[in-house]
Amino acid sequence: MLQKDKRKDILDIFFLFFFVALSGANTTFAHAESWEKHFVENEEEIPTNKFRAFYFNEQTSGILRHTEIVDRPVINFVRNDFYNIDAEYFGAYWIGYLEFEKETTMTISVYQSRSESKIFINGKNVFSDEDLTESKEKDYTFEPGKHKVEIQYISNYSSASFLVNIHPQIAEYNEASLRETLNTISNPEILYCGAYESDNFDMSVEVNLKHSDRKKVLFLSSYQPIIWKIKNANSSNIATVIVSSHGKESTVEGLSDETNLIYYRNIPSVYKIKPKRSSSASKNNFKNLAYIIQDLTGYKPNGFSGGYGLKSISVPETVLDKKLYSQFGLKFSKAKTFTGKSTKSRLDKVFE
């Protein structure tokens, strides 16, 4: 009996030391310091309103593989497709100054797959000493002047996807406010472009809009965040762009100042026109998408483009006419004006 008690005491002491050591290790990691001294040799290397990126393999103690100037902290690749660094051990460090003329509140939106990251502004951890392991967003107020922004990142999966988007605060539209805004545009050309994700390293997708004389309403929808880069926007008569994705990490570049940019999360991400007798029960299908867009705008879409993983795309790829809509049991209706939320049920609208 005494022998058993002695063994129990020894085990209790062992586990006590084990958990103390474990707690100490976690505390040290949670309060990790800046990596600047490991990568930056002088202040002149740090750009303003851009970032210097440093990429390395975690298994080689941070030995630098490549450095470059980038617009934002972002990576997106699989296996060892980037500088022969295994994605599971890929590490990155971004540093740059953001400059503001007046007090400005911005939203910091973070998208990441299986990985760990930290964000420092002026030496302080933005997310209260947490090690980020999932997508998050937070508002942050910048005082006038320059602010040093640092991002640390380590992947732990065979694909590495990470994006930090520091952007002006976004007022999300609800269904009623979106419908009210869109109904002010007379006889627009309604275009839709959908994707699951970007296939580019910087999560961008180049959108080449085909010219027409009509005012355009462009829906851009994706599952993962995308940096949509609109080409020839000034000559394409874009009245409004509606962006939809799971978070606020997606953004649109290349728009003119006259174009209204709207964020609305409830547009399905559809990247293929499926046949009428599709076995899929998902709401993410073309027929449901067409009804949603008509309910919001008063018109069914005139053009469709999409793909699972995109690098670039022409809009529209497919012109939606009466013949195509008839294949889905849909009528290509004339314009409708909505003054409020539709009172019809989904059953009532099946054969509209």
- 89 with 126, same domain: the answer is yes
Mean pLDDT of the chain: 83
pLDDT tens for 296-351 read 999 989 999 999 999 999 999 999 988 888 877 776 555 444 444 455 554 555 44
Whether residue 11 is contained in a domain is answered as no
Whether residue 352 is contained in a domain is answered as no
Contact 301, 320 (CB under 8 A): yes
Domain, as residue range, for 258: 175-326
- 191 with 322, same domain: the answer is yes
Whether residue 15 is contained in a domain is answered as no
- 141 with 189, same domain: the answer is no
Whether residue 254 is contained in a domain is answered as yes
- 190 with 243, same domain: the answer is yes
Looking at 135, 168, 201, the residue that finishes a domain is 168
- 179 with 318, same domain: the answer is yes
Contact 55, 160 (CB under 8 A): no
DSSP symbols for 14-73: HHHHHHHHHHHHHHHHHT---SHHHH-SSGGGS-BSSEEEEEEEGGGTT-EEEEEEESS-
- Residue 135 phi/psi, 5-degree rounding, is -70, 140
Whether residue 285 is contained in a domain is answered as yes
Could you give the number of structural domains in the chain? 2
- 152 with 195, same domain: the answer is no
- 228 with 200, same domain: the answer is yes
- 164 with 181, same domain: the answer is no
- Residue 300 phi/psi, 5-degree rounding, is -80, 155
pLDDT tens for 265-283 read 899 999 988 754 544 456 6
- 212 with 287, same domain: the answer is yes
pTM over 0.85: no
Whether residue 28 is contained in a domain is answered as no
Contact 110, 247 (CB under 8 A): no
- 304 with 183, same domain: the answer is yes
The pLDDT of residue 282 is 61
Whether residue 253 is contained in a domain is answered as yes
The answer, yes or no, to whether residue 75 has pLDDT greater than 70, is yes
Whether residue 105 is contained in a domain is answered as yes
- 103 with 213, same domain: the answer is no
> What is the C-alpha to C-alpha distance for residues 335 and 347, in angstroms, rounded to an integer?
21
